[in-house]
Structure 1
Amino acid sequence: DLLNRIDHESTIFSRCLQGSEFKEALSAFKEKRKPNFHKQTA
């Protein structure tokens, strides 16, 4: 059961890393600025 939970968490975490919020947070970190999560995407 523990391995199933770890696998499930891994799946969810990988989805989070693909989201626009993560991309903005990473860009802001690299550019040493505050993240803007209110951006409109085209």
Structure 2
Amino acid sequence: LWSSIIKSKNKTYYLGYFWDKETAAQVVRIKRLELHGEFANHG
């Protein structure tokens, strides 16, 4: 079980739990784009 959590501007976003790593990573990627737009750093 994988959890998706992202922090931005002193806020923590708990995005949920997922059965596979790829889905958890995809959810984080989408939230990064939502929060930071073209400046999102996907590492």
TM-score, length basis structure 2: 0.39
Higher helix share: 1
Higher strand share: 2
The structure with higher relative contact order (CA 8 Å, sep 6+) is 2
TM-score, length basis structure 1: 0.40
**Rg: which structure is higher?**
1
